[in-house]
Amino acid sequence: MNGFIVENGGLQSSIQDAGRKGFSDIGLTQSGAMDELAFGYANFLVGNPFNTAAIEIALGGASFRAKSEICIAICGANMQPTCNGHSIALWQTYQLRRGDVISFGFANEGQFTYIAVAGGFQTPFAYGSYSTSLKEGLGGIEGRKLKSGDILPTLGARCPVDRRKLERKFIPKYPETITLRLLKGYQETMFDAQAQETFFNSTYTFKGEGDRMGYRLSGEKVIPSATGILSEPICYGAVQVPSHGEPIVLLKERQTIGGYPKIGSVIAVDCFRLAQLKAGGKVRFKEVSIEEAQRATKAFYAFFKEQEA
Amino acid sequence: MSRRYQIASELSVIVYFGNTIDPLISKEVQKAYQALKANALEEFYEIIPSYASLMVSYDVIRFDFHEVCERIEKVIHHAEEITMSEPKIVTIPVYYGLEVGLDLELLAYEKNLSVEEIIALHTQELYSVYAIGFAPGFAYLGEIDERLATSRLANPRKVVPKGSVAIADRQSAVYPTQSPGGWKILGRTPTSMFDASYDGLSLLHVGDQVRYEPISKEEFLRLGGVL
């Protein structure tokens, strides 16, 4: 068999691709890589199409043993990866031999790291995706986080390009303070001028209250003028504000429908940056136009599409 | 009926058909949903219907906001001819004991009703399935008697047990799996709402009708319910 055996699943590792599409109408969450940028680069480095299943390691502590020759790339938070005890670099390809063990410590900056393998992981395909939805127990390996003994089969073996390395200028940083571009929502009228001013002029703290579903931010309260709206579909990045007044940014494993007022939506490429924010990190919001929002997100996907061509 | 197109995000547009729970509005949403599903599946990532709105997620490389609105309007415009089938009626057994009806006493206090009166009001209606969402198989049912109408919890629960039968505003629903949630909980059902063995994965589908049937603790346990 080509592939990995999970020696230690760490705090929370799971199989993810870019997410589940087309099942939201029966309530299945989108799921997928929390940071599509690091995920995309990992796949790019090993010569995979953008949407190829990879391992997502949250926080750290995981280790894997190669059952065959495998070409890998590790991108995202620096969890000080080692191969047989020797440090290995992120943001480049690495050729593993049969029996090699790669291990991860804990991230000092960022939250998520991706391991892509040439050819991708051939784990079960569920509802149109390889992604694991942990909350719902669907997809991936039995819908759960990876644990010791799990087998992750792969196709590829040798690296497509000898030591492909990401140019330094492309390597993202994971600062402790970030500004998120927000497209104001259709429920903005439920937030009066003062509430909006508070929202855009405050610095929020991510205290670690959150998971793949969404991140709750603490700080100045933004009180909507009504407690609920008629339940309606929720998009990626939606910032909902329950009556406790603290904004929640909804991410990959969000519910598909909800009834809390929304002040707007954080654009996708900034949601990827938010996903990497560590507990204690600070967030500010900045309003953006639809044209600018679409330009930014379009550029992101067009970049990866070009790499595939 | 007039439709309103609004930006939800840079990747999705929401179309409003109205802003109330109304069987006629819901029918418009369902027709538009079916037409979009049938004609435009390749172009859109997601088409999610709800009570009075429908959201479409799209490829930002292919469409800008104005182009996508025009495309959707063109498809929906032809949806008028779709004929809807007769609703299926599904009975859901519910155990309304205080150990599973976590908010029964709170609601009784708020509404100045007895627990028995709450159960009677909750089981007397034939509800319509207006939307599926929030979680796999989570069906939004309307409308509960206005004497039961209630706000969501100010601080949502981090853990709502699987099978919890709950209400919020004038809606009712069953939590298909353990999840966070802010609706007030009246009881628990042993019936699975979402299962890979079900046709279409979900017990309920938009357009179906539901009746809650009160059962004893013994019956709940016999049917596989978990306390």
Q: How far apart are the first and last CA of chain B?
A: 47
For residue A241, which residues of chain B lie inside 8 Å, CB to CB?
A: none
Average pLDDT over residues B103-119: 96
pLDDT more than 70, % of chain A: 99
pTM: 0.89
> Are A235 and B55 within 8 A, CB to CB?
yes
**pLDDT of res. A215:** 98
Our CA-based measurement puts residue A80 at a distance from the nearest CA of chain B, in whole angstroms, of 33
| Percentage of chain B modeled with pLDDT above 90 | 72
pLDDT per position as a tens digit, A53-82? 999 999 999 999 999 999 999 999 999 999
C-alpha dist (Å) from residue A295 to A301, B59, B66, B71, B207: 10, 12, 14, 20, 39
Q: How would you write A26-63 as a 3-class SS string?
A: HCCCCCCCCCHHHHHHHHHHCCCCCCCCEEEEECECEE
Selected for mutation to probe chain A from B3, B4, B6, B9 (highest A CB count within 10 Å) is B9
pLDDT band at B92 (very low <50, low <70, confident <90, very high): very high
Q: How far apart are CA B13 and CA A302, in angstroms?
A: 20
Asked if B14 and A255 come within 8 Å (Cβ–Cβ), the reply is: no
Task: Kindly give the pairing relationship between strand A12-16 and strand A232-233.
Answer: unpaired
* A128 CB burial (10 A radius; 0-12, 13-18, 19+): middle
Chain B residues near residue A135 by CB distance under 8 angstroms: 135, 177, 179
Least Cα separation, residue A193 to chain B (angstroms):
20
**pLDDT score of A161:** 65
Task: Give the list of residues 6+ apart from residue A141 with CB closer than 8 angstroms, or none.
Answer: A14, A15, A123, A124, A132, A150, A152
Query: Which tens digits make up the pLDDT trace of B164-198?
Result: 999 998 999 999 988 889 999 999 999 999 887 88
Q: Which residue of B has its CA nearest to A232?
A: B50
Are β-strands A112-117 and A86-87 bridged in parallel, bridged antiparallel, or unpaired?
A: unpaired
Cβ distance A26 to B156 less than 8 Å, yes or no, reads no
Chain B positions touching A28 (Cβ under 8 A) are 136, 201
Taking CA atoms, B24 is separated from B89, B141, B210, in Å, by 19, 15, 18
- Of A28, A283, A306, nearest to B45 by C-alpha is A28
Q: Please give the pLDDT value at position A292.
A: 97
Q: Give the side-chain half-sphere CA count within 13 A for B94.
A: 30
* Shortest CA gap A187–chain B (Å): 10
Distances (CA, A) of B61 to A21, A226, A303: 16, 36, 11
CA distance A297 to A301: 7
Which of A41, A269, A26, A48 lies closest to A133, judged by CA? A26
**How far away is chain A from the Cα of B177, in angstroms, using its nearest Cα?**
7
Q: Which helix (H) or strand (E) holds A215?
A: strand A214-216
Q: What is the pLDDT of residues B26-83, one digit of tens each?
A: 989 988 998 898 877 678 999 999 999 999 999 999 999 999 999 999 999 887 777 7
Confidence at A307, pLDDT banded by 50, 70, 90:
confident
Q: Do B9 and A265 touch (CB under 8 A)?
A: yes
> Which of A142, A111, A145, A152 has its CA nearest to residue A14?
A145
Selection from B14, B74, B28 nearest residue A258 by Cα: B14
User: Residue B51 and residue A137: Cβ atoms within 8 Å?
Assistant: no
A241, A248 contact by CB (below 8 A) = yes
The pLDDT, as a whole number, for residue A227 is 74
Neighbouring-strand partners of residue A257: A233
A234-273: pLDDT as tens digits: 999 999 998 889 999 999 999 999 889 999 999 999 999 9
Residue pLDDT, tens place only, B9-42: 999 999 999 998 888 999 899 889 988 988 776 7
From A96, A98, A69, select the one nearest A82 (Cα to Cα): A96
